[in-house]
A and B are shown apart, each in its own frame.
Chain A
Amino acid sequence: MAEDLLKKETDDMEELLEDDSQKGMFMTFQTGKELFGISISYVNEIIAMQPIAAIPEVEDYVKGLINLRGKIIPVIDVRVRFKMEPCEYTDRTCIIVIDVKSTMIGLIVERLADVDTIAEDNIAPPPSLGRKEHEHNKYVYGLARTGDTVTLLLDPEKLIRQDDIVAAMEEVRKEEQS
C-alpha cells in the first residue's frame, strides 16, 4: 500500500520533472505536526525506507549510509535535525533523495504529503525575533500559506551545509595559522 502510494508520487513527480516549469513547485512532507516544503528542483527521487548502515561518532541526525543502486549516500533524519523527538519509522516513512550542488543526501521524513504549487505572493519570510544567533541557522527561508495550512519552506543548501561550513571555516583558520 505504501509502495503503491510512493510509486504514484514518484510517477507524478516524473511528470512534473519533465515539465519545464518546476518553478514554484514544492514537494511537501509532514514531520511531527508541521508541514515542510522543499523546492522540487532539488528532489532526485523518493524511495521507501531502507536498511541503514550506522556510522559511529557522527552527529545524531546523521542516521548512516544507504546503498542507492551502487551509490553510497548519507541519510539524515529531518526530525532529529530540527531537534524534535525522533519518531518510529513506519511503512509511511520514506527517504527523499535530494541533490544539492551535486551532493546527494537522503532525508528521512515521516510521510509525504503532496506536490504543491506555491505562488511567490503566498510566501512570507519567517518572523524574525531579531536575535542574531538565529540568523545563520535558518533552514526555513519562508512560510507559505495555502488555505488554513502553513508550510515551512526549507532551504536545502542550508539544511545540509550549515555545520560543515562552520567546521570547514575552522579548518581553514587552523591551516592559516600553521
Chain B
Amino acid sequence: MAEEFNTESMLDMFLYESGQLLEKLEGIILEKQDADCFDDADINDIFRVMHTIKGSSGVLMYDNITKATHKLEDVFYYLRESHPDDVPHMELVEKVLAVSDFVTAELDKLRNGDTPDGDEKSLVEDLDEFLGRLKGEITKQGIQMPQANKHVEPTQFYITPVAGEDSHFYRISIHYRSDTQMSNLRAYSATYALKEVAEDLLYTPDDILSNEASSDVIVAEGFHMLLQTKSSKEEVIALIDSSEAEEINFDELSKEEYGRALGEFGREEVEPPAPEPAAAKDNGNKEAKKEGPKPGDYVVKTKEAGKGKTLAKNQPKQQSIISVNVEKMDALMDLIGELVIAEAVVLQNPDLKVPGLELSNFQKASGQLSKITTELQEVIMSMRMMPLTNVFQKMKRIVFDVSRKLGKDIELEVIGENTEVDKNIIEHITDPLMHLVRNSVDHGIEENPEDRTSVGKPAKGKITLEAKNEGGKVYISVKDDGKGLNKEKLYQKALDKGVIENKPMSEFTDKEIFRFITLPGFSTKEEVTEYSGRGVGMDVVVKNIQSISGRLDISSVEFEGSEMTLVIPLTLAIINGIVVQVGNSPFVIETASIKEFVRVGEDSLIHEPSGEEYIVLRGECYPFIRLNERYDLPDSIDKIEEGIIVVLEHEGSQVCVLIDKLLQEQEIVVKPIPSYVRKVKGLSGCTQLGDGSIALILDIAGLLMHDGERR
C-alpha cells in the first residue's frame, strides 16, 4: 500500500472497502462460474456490491467508476426484479469480471497516487447493449418490466486533498547585513509575501512582530523559514525581497526531511489527537471505548504566530483494531531478533563461567527471561501470519481465465486455503504459484477431451490446489490429472538444448529427469503461448522459491498427471541451529537437517583411487565432506576419530560432514551475507553468536550441489 496516505483517511477507507467488496464479488463469480445461473442471493449480493461502490465513488467523485458500476447495478437490478430465464450466464460472468477488473485497475491507480483516468465508455456501451437484450428478453417472456432503477445522485461530496506530491518543501534562511534596520519587519514582509503561495509556513524566531528584540536575533543568527508550497523555487525567490539581504540560502527538502525539520521549528504534529495512554489501562468494555470524534474536539486553544495549532481538548480515541505499517512490523521483527541475540549474550556470558559462582537466582531469572522472549517471538510470528486465501483466490481466477481462453473444460479443487504462512513468504510465492497453475492448465491438461476419454479419464480436466502445514514447513501443491511428463521427450529435449551432460538416460533417476524442466533454457513447448512460457521459465520459479529457502518437488506419471509441490519454511527469520566448530571458525547447521552425530574410526572410511572418500555407517555408504578441506580452514582436526561426523539430510540425499566439535544448540537469527561478498555455495547466511562473534550458516542443499559439481 502506498505510504503517502494517512492510515484510515477517507480515501484509504474507500480503497480498502471497495477492494474487499471486489474480492467478495470475484469469490461469488468464480464459485458460480460453472452454474447455470446466479441464484437470488448472489444477484442480491452483486447488486449490493455495485450499489455500494457506485455510492462511495460518487461521493468521492470518481465518475468513471460510478458510471461503470452504475450500469452493472442496473443489469442486476433487472435480474433481481424480473427473474428472466435464459440469461446467457457465461456472458454475464464475463461482464461482471470486466467491470471488476476495470474498477480494480482504477483503484490501483488511486493507490499509486495517480488519477483514475480509465475510459469507461466502451464498457458502459457494452453493458448497455447487454442490458438492452436483457430487457428485450424480459418483454418477450411476458414478465412485467420493473420500474426503472432509481439512481439517487449523491448529495454529499468528499473532495480528496491534492496529492502532496506536487508540493515542494523548502528551507529558506535569510541573513541580513549587520547594519540592517528593523530586520524583523523585513522578515515579516518576507513571510507576508510567502503566505500568498504557502500551504504551510513556519519561521523562527517566531515573535518577529511582537518582540522588537527579535531583530537582533535575526541579524545575528539569520531568519529561517520552512515553506510548503506548490510554487517553484524561482517563483518563491521572486516573492522574497532580497534588498538588504546578505545571503539567502534556499534548500529544497524531501517530505520526510520537512517532517523532521518541523520538529526543529517547535511544531509537533497535531492531528489526529493521539490516544491517551492512561485510557488504555482499563481494558474491559471495548464497546464503550469505540467513540468517534465529536463536535468540539477540534477547538483551537490559541495560535501563536509561526507555530502550529494546539487543540484545547485532546480527546482520547480508542480502537480495538489498528492497521500497522509492514515496515514497522519488520522493524519489530528485527528488534526481537536482536533481543534473542542479546539474551544469548547475557545467558552465555563467559563471566558466568568463573568457578564457584552461586547462580541459582540468576538461573531462575534467566529461565523467566527465556520464556518471555520465546513467547514474544511466537506473538510476532503469529502477527505476521496470513492465510493463503487471497493467493488461492487469485489462482481460481487464473484457472478460469486461462481455461476459458484455451477452450479447456477444467474443474479446480482447492484444499486448505486457510493455511497460514508468513506475510513475506506470501509475497514471494504468488508469482511462482501463478506460473505453476498456468502451466498445469496450458501444458498439463490435454487439448482434446477425446485424448482424456480414450485413456479412461473423465472429459473434464481437474486441477487440485492444496496447502498444508507439516513439521514447520508449508507444502503447496498444484496437481493436474493431465497427460503427465514424458521422460523420453524430456531427456531428448534436454540433450538437444544442451542443458545436460551427454549421459545415457538410464543414468538419471526419474526425479532428476523431471528436474530438467527447471533448468535455464529448457521449455517443453515449441511455441510460446500467451499464458505460459513468456520468456520466464521454470528456472525463474525455482530461483524465486530458493530465495526463500524453499524447494520445488516434481512428480509425474505419464497419462495420469503431474504434481508440483512447493515446500517452503513457515518463517524465514529465526531457526533452530547447532553451532559447531571447524578450526577457528564457528558454523551453524539447521537442527532440522541433522540426522545424527557419530564418532567413527579410520576403518569406516573408504578411499577411492580418485581421491573421493566415503563413510560406511551400518552397512550404508555415504558421501563424505571434510569441511576443513572444502573451505581451507587451518588448525582443524584431520583424523577422523578425533572429530565428529554429522550426518545431514536434504531432500532424501544424505551426506556426512567432518567437524571438530559441537558448541551449543541455539536459536539463530538468520541474516544475509552482505551482498558485496560473492555468493559462496554451501553458505546460506550468517548470524551473530552469544559472544558477539559471527558464524556462517551452512546450506545443506548448496553443499550437496557443490559436491555433485566437483565430481
A72-B671, A178-B521 known; A56 and B680 CB under 8 Å? yes
Interface residue count on the A side (C-beta < 8 Å): 25
A53 at the interface (CB under 8 A from B): yes
The residue from A51, A104, A105, A160 contacting B693, defined by CB atoms under 8 A apart: A51
> Are B694 and A72 neighbours in the complex by a CB distance under 8 Å?
yes
> Are A70 and B680 neighbours in the complex by a CB distance under 8 Å?
no
> Are A55 and B677 neighbours in the complex by a CB distance under 8 Å?
yes
> Are B630 and A53 neighbours in the complex by a CB distance under 8 Å?
no
> Are B539 and A53 neighbours in the complex by a CB distance under 8 Å?
no
> Are A72 and B686 neighbours in the complex by a CB distance under 8 Å?
yes
Q: Determine how close the nearest CB of chain A comes to the CB of B496; give it in whole angstroms.
A: 15
Interface core residue of B521, B539, B676, B695 (most chain A CB under 10 Å): B676
> Are A55 and B696 neighbours in the complex by a CB distance under 8 Å?
yes
Interface string of B677-711 (1 = CB under 8 A from A): 11011010010100011111000000000000000
Interface string of A66-105 (1 = CB under 8 A from B): 1100101110000000000000000000000000000111
Interface string of B533-556 (1 = CB under 8 A from A): 000010100000000000000000
> Are A70 and B675 neighbours in the complex by a CB distance under 8 Å?
no
Stretch at the interface among A9-17, A57-65, A113-121: A57-65
The residue from A66, A70, A105 contacting B676, defined by CB atoms under 8 A apart: A105
B633 at the interface (CB under 8 A from A): yes
Residues in B whose Cβ lies below 8 Å from that of A67:
688, 692-694
B604 at the interface (CB under 8 A from A): no
Q: Determine how close the nearest CB of chain A comes to the CB of B498; give it in whole angstroms.
A: 12
Interface string of B310-347 (1 = CB under 8 A from A): 00000000000000000000000000001001000000
A167 at the interface (CB under 8 A from B): yes
Interface string of B605-643 (1 = CB under 8 A from A): 000000000000000000000000011110000000000
Residues in B whose Cβ lies below 8 Å from that of A160:
676
A70→B675 CA distance, assembly (Å): 17
> Are B683 and A103 neighbours in the complex by a CB distance under 8 Å?
no
Q: Determine how close the nearest CB of chain B comes to the CB of A116; give it in whole angstroms.
A: 27
A54 at the interface (CB under 8 A from B): yes
Interface string of B555-580 (1 = CB under 8 A from A): 00000000000000000000000000
> Are B678 and A167 neighbours in the complex by a CB distance under 8 Å?
yes
A56→B694 CA distance, assembly (Å): 14
Interface core residue of A53, A104, A105, A164 (most chain B CB under 10 Å): A53
> Are A53 and B693 neighbours in the complex by a CB distance under 8 Å?
yes
Residues in B whose Cβ lies below 8 Å from that of A70:
338, 341, 688
> Are A56 and B631 neighbours in the complex by a CB distance under 8 Å?
yes
State the main secondary structure of chain B at its contact with A. loop
Residues in B whose Cβ lies below 8 Å from that of A65:
673-674, 677, 686, 694
Q: Determine how close the nearest CB of chain B comes to the CB of A88; give it in whole angstroms.
A: 17
A58→B676 CA distance, assembly (Å): 11
Residues in B whose Cβ lies below 8 Å from that of A53:
585-586, 686, 693-696
- Name the residue of chain A whose CB is nearest to the CB of B521: A178
Residues in A whose Cβ lies below 8 Å from that of B585:
53-54
Residues in A whose Cβ lies below 8 Å from that of B686:
53, 65, 72
Q: Determine how close the nearest CB of chain A comes to the CB of B645; give it in whole angstroms.
A: 20
Q: Determine how close the nearest CB of chain A comes to the CB of B242; give it in whole angstroms.
A: 22
Residues in B whose Cβ lies below 8 Å from that of A66:
694
The residue from B338, B521, B680 contacting A55, defined by CB atoms under 8 A apart: B680
Q: Determine how close the nearest CB of chain B comes to the CB of A93; give it in whole angstroms.
A: 19
Interface string of A19-63 (1 = CB under 8 A from B): 000000000000000000000000000000001011111110010
Residues in B whose Cβ lies below 8 Å from that of A103:
674-676
Residues in A whose Cβ lies below 8 Å from that of B678:
57-59, 62, 167
For chain B residues 465-503, which have a beta carbon within 8 Å of chain A? none
A56→B341 CA distance, assembly (Å): 24
A167→B678 CA distance, assembly (Å): 9
A63→B688 CA distance, assembly (Å): 17
> Are A74 and B683 neighbours in the complex by a CB distance under 8 Å?
no
- Name the residue of chain B whose CB is nearest to the CB of A100: B676
- Name the residue of chain A whose CB is nearest to the CB of B338: A70
A164→B679 CA distance, assembly (Å): 11
A137→B695 CA distance, assembly (Å): 33
A104→B674 CA distance, assembly (Å): 9
Residues in A whose Cβ lies below 8 Å from that of B673:
55, 65, 72
B520 at the interface (CB under 8 A from A): yes
A57→B680 CA distance, assembly (Å): 7
A57→B673 CA distance, assembly (Å): 14
Residues in A whose Cβ lies below 8 Å from that of B674:
65, 72-74, 103-105
A65-B673, A72-B686 known; A56 and B521 CB under 8 Å? no
Residues in B whose Cβ lies below 8 Å from that of A74:
674, 676-677
A121→B256 CA distance, assembly (Å): 37
Q: Determine how close the nearest CB of chain A comes to the CB of B520; give it in whole angstroms.
A: 4
Residues in B whose Cβ lies below 8 Å from that of A72:
671, 673-674, 686, 688, 694
A74-B674, A178-B520 known; A57 and B631 CB under 8 Å? yes
Residues in A whose Cβ lies below 8 Å from that of B683:
55-56
A160→B586 CA distance, assembly (Å): 27
A164→B675 CA distance, assembly (Å): 10
Residues in B whose Cβ lies below 8 Å from that of A59:
678
The residue from A54, A164, A178 contacting B539, defined by CB atoms under 8 A apart: A178
For chain B residues 375-427, which have a beta carbon within 8 Å of chain A? none
The residue from B630, B671, B675 contacting A56, defined by CB atoms under 8 A apart: B630
- Name the residue of chain B whose CB is nearest to the CB of A160: B676
Q: Determine how close the nearest CB of chain B comes to the CB of A64; give it in whole angstroms.
A: 8
A55→B631 CA distance, assembly (Å): 8
A74→B586 CA distance, assembly (Å): 17
Q: Determine how close the nearest CB of chain B comes to the CB of A175; give it in whole angstroms.
A: 8
Residues in A whose Cβ lies below 8 Å from that of B675:
103
Residues in B whose Cβ lies below 8 Å from that of A51:
693
A70-B338, A72-B688, A72-B694 known; A56 and B676 CB under 8 Å? no
A55-B683, A178-B539 known; A164 and B676 CB under 8 Å? yes
> Are A62 and B677 neighbours in the complex by a CB distance under 8 Å?
yes
> Are A56 and B693 neighbours in the complex by a CB distance under 8 Å?
no
- Name the residue of chain B whose CB is nearest to the CB of A105: B676
Q: Determine how close the nearest CB of chain B comes to the CB of A168; give it in whole angstroms.
A: 10
A178→B521 CA distance, assembly (Å): 5
For chain B residues 130-155, which have a beta carbon within 8 Å of chain A? none
- Name the residue of chain B whose CB is nearest to the CB of A59: B678
For chain B residues 155-203, which have a beta carbon within 8 Å of chain A? none
Q: Determine how close the nearest CB of chain B comes to the CB of A74; give it in whole angstroms.
A: 5
Residues in A whose Cβ lies below 8 Å from that of B692:
67
Q: Determine how close the nearest CB of chain A comes to the CB of B524; give it in whole angstroms.
A: 15
Residues in B whose Cβ lies below 8 Å from that of A178:
520-521, 537, 539
- Name the residue of chain B whose CB is nearest to the CB of A104: B674
Q: Determine how close the nearest CB of chain A comes to the CB of B418; give it in whole angstroms.
A: 36
Q: Determine how close the nearest CB of chain B comes to the CB of A166; give it in whole angstroms.
A: 12
Interface core residue of B521, B586, B696 (most chain A CB under 10 Å): B696
Residues in B whose Cβ lies below 8 Å from that of A164:
676
A54→B686 CA distance, assembly (Å): 11
Residues in B whose Cβ lies below 8 Å from that of A58:
677-678, 680
Some 19 contacts from A to B, beta carbons below 8 A apart, are: A51-B693, A53-B696, A55-B683, A56-B633, A58-B677, A58-B680, A65-B694, A67-B692, A67-B693, A70-B341, A70-B688, A72-B674, A72-B694, A73-B674, A74-B676, A74-B677, A105-B674, A177-B521, A178-B539
Interface, chain B (partner A; CB < 8 A): 338, 341, 520-521, 537, 539, 585-586, 630-633, 671, 673-678, 680-681, 683, 686, 688, 692-696
Q: A56-B631, A103-B674 are in contact. List 9 more A-B contacts (CB 8 A).
A: A54-B585, A55-B680, A57-B631, A57-B681, A67-B692, A72-B671, A177-B521, A178-B520, A178-B539
Report, nearest first, the 8 A-B pairs whose CB atoms are least far apart: A56-B631, A53-B694, A178-B520, A178-B521, A57-B680, A74-B674, A65-B694, A74-B677
